[in-house]
């Protein structure tokens, strides 16, 4: 158990529906990442936060994707008007950003299936 919790673990949705995932990070870790992973591939960077500030959003990410981290605590990732190509594992990771650049702790992920 890394201390990073993601909910739900699995989500099946119909194409066109909106979905929201939640990540509860380690409380004192100020940096939070979202990644997407498909079978046989490495985690693909989506976006990341330093405290409550969203620092960068991948250019590959369409406007249907949005993420928030209110008050620098938990984070949500919303996908609007889901498409079959959105089916993937969505991973949240958390790290303590300081001069020592420590490792990232990952949640177990949310597996999204769009039918």
Partner 1 sequence: SQQGEEDPQALSIQEGENATMNCSYKTSINNLQWYRQNSGRGLVHLILIRSNEREKHSGRLRVTLDTSKKSSSLLITASRAADTASYFCATITMDSSYKLIFGSGTRLLVRP
46 belongs to the binding site for partner 1 (CB under 8 A): no
**What is the total count of residues that contact partner 1 (CB under 8 A)?**
31
- Closer residue to partner 1 (CB): 1 or 63: 1
Q: Which residues of 53-69 are buried (b: 16+ CB within 10 A; e: fewer)?
A: eeeebeeebeeebebeb
For residues 19 and 78, the answer to whether their CB atoms sit within 8 Å is yes
Residues 6+ positions from 58 with CB-CB distance below 8 Å: 44, 45, 46, 47
* One residue of 23, 32, 33, 79 binding partner 1 per CB under 8 A: 33
Letters for 61-90 (x = contact with partner 1 by CB under 8 A, - = none) are ----------------------------x-
Minimal distance, residue 88 CB to partner 1, in Å = 13
């Amino acid at each position: 158990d890394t201390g990073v919790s993601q909910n739900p673990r699995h989500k099946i949705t119909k194409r066109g529906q909106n979905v929201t995932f939640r990540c509860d990070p380690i409380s004192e870790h100020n940096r939070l990442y979202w990644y997407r992973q498909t079978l046989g591939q490495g985690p693909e960077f989506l976006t990341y936060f330093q405290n409550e500030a969203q620092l960068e959003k991948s250019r590959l990410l369409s406007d249907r994707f949005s993420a928030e981290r209110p008050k620098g605590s938990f984070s949500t990732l919303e996908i609007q008007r889901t498409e079959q190509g959105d089916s993937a594992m969505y991973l949240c990771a958390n790290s303590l950003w300081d001069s020592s650049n420590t490792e990232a702790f990952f949640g177990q992920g949310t597996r999204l299936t769009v039918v």
